[in-house]
Amino acid sequence: MVLWDGLTAEVMTSFTEGAFLIAMALLLGANNVQIGLLASLPMFTNIFQLISIWLVRKYNNRRAVAVYSSFLARIPLIIIGVSVLWLSGDSVGLLIFFLFFYYFFGSIAGPSWNSWMKDLIPEKMLGEYFSQRSRYTQILNIVLSISLALILDFVKNFYQEYELNAYAIFFVIAGIIGIIGGFLLSKAPEPQSYLSNANIVALFKQPLKNDNFRRLLIFNSMWVLALNIATPFFIVFMMKSMGLPISYIIILGTISQLFSVLTLRMWGTLSDRYSNKSIISLSAPIYILCIIAWCFVGIYSHYFLNIALLALIHIFSGVATAGINLSTANIGIKLAPKEDAIVYLSVKNIVTAVFASIGPVIGGILADFFSDRRLTIFAQWESPLFPKTIRLLSLHEWTFLFLIGAIIAFFSLNLLNRVKEVGEVHKGVVKRVMRTRIKSNLKEYFIIGDIINLHQQLRAIVKRTRRNRRRKPIVP
């Protein structure tokens, strides 16, 4: 039932978030400030997760809190779709207003669901189970994203006057399927839970007094701040600066999802066997390099080179985010004491939500500041026959954000070293294990092998080839 609920939730996400939401907002006439507000809503509403703690303490029923909140979260999606159809889609204010309640009730459902899952799923298989769940949901996301992109392209090319209506219908469908998912989730069992009777303010202070958990909060906060300065503007950058059609953006996102699916099982197995902290130490630097690579998109006017670079960025981003998202979620569940898991996880989500929600606002302010500023670095070669000037780097309003976000993310990784996790091993050990697994599995070899140690693997292939040639008998 939890797997099926995850699939229905992914349908909602595919129909109503990401590039589709931004494209719909632009059709409704949203400005940059409103787009930034839409990006910050999912994080900002997490501050209301304290309500979830109060409800669970009052009724001692995490399943009821999660299920009823999920029902209430899905209804606004239907209202958004119907209002766009009835009101001719002339107001982005209604979109923001009802999306607030969608995220608001979702934030209430989150902590009770996390605590429920902590007791329902054995800790030794936590990584494997959620990696499997994520694989299923991401495969569904890939299929839906491609299908919806084709539908939107068809509507835009042949029935452009109905393009906004298509988005509205997506919201109605997402809300209905989401309600069905809430019904399926209600059929999952709930183990007996025990929550401390302490004052709610005292409960809120408990995670902050826990030195190790507080270090995790500091790392998580700085990490999400860095990412949300940059990542919410990737789609805006592709739409506005590069002028890419939504189908291209969806295909690139699908490539990222596909590589996430292909590597999730490996990350989940390794996190169970070793530690989430080790997985973050390996995958986070890859993602930081991907953010830096965004600064080089569009430097040259060659269209296909830019598309190729975007494809590479999305491939490695998919590999990295699979490990990062799985491990950052699981390490919070793992470090939270069982008896007060909902409190610890709620505090974690609330604190990180504050930093995550101000990230897009800071990004918007910085984008305005750098809108009339540019930094360009050239390399010049002087020769009688072939003088050449090469542009090495060109930073403008959006790419300044990406570089700043990458720098902050890099320094936030140093904070991870202070976090202690039971069973953690040095990332070098995990790297060696990954290398061994990759050599025995051709699929994983091509996905991850080059990331770990490209030059050594190529050298080994060349040596084996030469050795086989010397051993091959000469036939007269």
| Run of H or E residues at 379 | strand 375-381
- pLDDT confidence of residue 288: 92
The domain made up of 1-191 has a fold known as Growth Hormone; Chain: A; (1.20.1250)
Query: How far does CA 174 lie from the centroid of its chain?
Result: 20
- pLDDT confidence of residue 196: 57
pLDDT profile of the chain (476 residues), mean per 10: 83 81 81 77 80 78 84 89 73 85 87 77 74 80 82 81 83 89 83 62 76 86 88 83 82 85 78 77 89 86 85 91 82 74 77 84 81 79 74 78 89 84 57 51 44 47 55 44
Beta carbons of 307 and 87 less than 8 angstroms apart: no
**Amino acid, res. 469:** R
Q: How far is CA 402 from CA 110, 242, 254, 429, 466, in A?
A: 29, 15, 21, 31, 45
Separation CA 395–CA 299 (nearest Å): 9
Query: How far does CA 316 lie from the centroid of its chain?
Result: 13
Homologous superfamily of 209-454: MFS general substrate transporter like domains (1.20.1250.20)
Structure tokens belonging to residue 110: 């989150």
Separation CA 244–CA 449 (nearest Å): 31
Q: If you search the block for the tokens 């990004």, which residue do you land on?
A: 363
Q: Do domains 1-191 and 209-454 have the same CATH topology?
A: yes
- Please tell me whether residue 391 adopts helix, strand or coil conformation: strand
Separation CA 275–CA 127 (nearest Å): 10
104-131 pLDDT per residue, tens: 998 888 777 777 777 777 777 776 777 7
Separation CA 144–CA 15 (nearest Å): 8
Q: How far is CA 439 from CA 43, 315, 420, 465, in A?
A: 40, 20, 31, 16
- Please tell me whether residue 203 adopts helix, strand or coil conformation: helix
- pLDDT confidence of residue 111: 75
Structure tokens belonging to residue 46: 């997490």
- pLDDT confidence of residue 314: 92
Separation CA 60–CA 310 (nearest Å): 48
How many contiguous H segments (helices) and E segments (strands) does the chain have? 19, 2
77-86 pLDDT per residue, tens: 899 888 888 8
DSSP 474: P
Where in the chain are the domains? 1-191, 209-454
- pLDDT confidence of residue 291: 92
List CB contacts of 472: < 8 A, sequence separation 6 or more: none
Separation CA 157–CA 170 (nearest Å): 18
- pLDDT confidence of residue 290: 92
- pLDDT confidence of residue 329: 78
Separation CA 107–CA 115 (nearest Å): 13
Backbone angles phi, psi at 425, to 5 degrees: -130, 165
Rounded to two decimals, what is the model's pTM? Answer: 0.68
267-284 pLDDT per residue, tens: 777 777 777 788 888 888
